[in-house]
Amino acid sequence: MTGPVTLGIDVGGTKILGLAVDGAGVVLAEEKAPTPRVLAPEGSGDSGGDAVIETIVDVAERLLDALAADGDTRGRSERVSAVGVGVPGLVDDDGWLRFAPNLPGGEGLDVKGRLSELLAPVKVVVDNDATCAVMGEWIYGAAAGATDAVVVTLGTGIGGGLIVNNAVARGALGFAGEIGHMVVDPAGPACPCGKRGCWERFASGSGLGRLAREAAHAGRLDEVLRAAGGDPEAVRAEDVTAAAAAGDEGAQAVLGELGWWLALGLANLANILDPSVFVLGGGLVDALNLVIEPVRTAFDNLVEGRLGRPEVMISLAMLGERSGAVGAAVLARRDHRALARRPD
């Protein structure tokens, strides 16, 4: 075990993943729990986030227990130097969750305050989940060594984490990286955020489901439709990725459509930020393996001045589904907001 141990907890749309990580990035313990989807009853005066907070605390306590079982006989709070938590949505400098379209009940939650109280005296830091993922991939993964990189987390929605000028870019208010809500088609489908045609309506897991249902309605996904019981509205993203992996051409075409929209958004980001590498992570990554070459080709056709610029790398996340939790642990062991600058 090298250096101080920290906990990193990644709150996803469907599950909460917690890791205990040592100072060299080695994972010492792992615990999971499903993300509670229960909303508070109307008029209860509760933000609805209690269940989320309780589950995070539960995961943290199971990690502390696991460290004890592993022979660390110090008091609970001495086993770790800090806890980092990544949450989906806009997190302000005080650790409040300000906007959380993909975490029902999370909006307006004082994540840092509540957790600091329940986990005292252990220090708690809270940040956007994609910012955590970029930190994990930048320090220990596919973006290591890059001065400019973008980590794209493809799950229910699309999150982003930015490395600019050799540092994590948070923006003026800590809200940078909300790349999934870049509008790429103002006449496109409605988004829970209130706009139309956000990138994540096309290139995320929920986007894949939508593209698949459109294809099913249009008769371009007959095998998958039959397996789903014949109702186009019952077709899910998972059905398409499974069928594509099994060689179904209709399903592969739908994945190709997703890949084209993915490439379009990446090209937009390349034009704006000029990263040397894109790192693709999140739950959709396994499916992307099937279309990564078409994505690269489409990207080359869409990025400005392709012939005059060296190739931009498009890599899959090396830490897999652990990027966010590892990054949250890295953030926890540093001076958090002040920091985020890679050691030279």
Structural Rg of the chain based on CA atoms: 20
120: enclosing H helix or E strand: none
Provide the minimum distance between the beta carbon of 52 and a second copy in the complex, in angstroms, as a whole number: 17
Tokens for 83, please give them: 């806890």
Are residues 129 and 11 in contact, defined by beta-carbon separation less than 8 angstroms?
yes
Q: At what angle do helices 111-119 and 50-69 cross, to 10 degrees?
A: 40
Nearer to a second copy, 208 or 267 (CB): 267
Measured from the CB atom, the residue of 171 and 230 that comes closer to a second copy is 171
The residues that touch a second copy, with contacts defined as CB under 8 A, are 90, 98-99, 107, 146-148, 160, 162, 164-165, 167, 169-179, 181-187, 193-195, 264, 267-269, 271-276, 301-302, 304-305, 308-310
Shortest approach of a second copy to residue 181 CB, angstroms?
Answer: 4
The first and second tokens of residue 203, run together, are 């290139």
Q: What's the angle, vertex CA 204, arms to CA 55 and CA 227, rounded to 5? A: 95
Shortest spacing between CB 271 and a second copy, in angstroms:
4
Nearest distance from C-beta of residue 277 to a second copy, angstroms: 8
| 118/253 with CB nearer a second copy | 253
CA atoms lying within 13 Å on the CB side of residue 304? 7
Q: Could you give the dihedral angle defined by the CA atoms of residues 281, 198, 234 and 40, in that order, rounded to the nearest 10 degrees?
A: 90
Question: Cβ closer to a second copy: 268 or 315?
Answer: 268
Beta-bridge partner residues of 31: 18
CB of 15 or CB of 98, closer to a second copy: 98
Q: How far is the CB of 243 from a second copy (least distance, A)?
A: 26
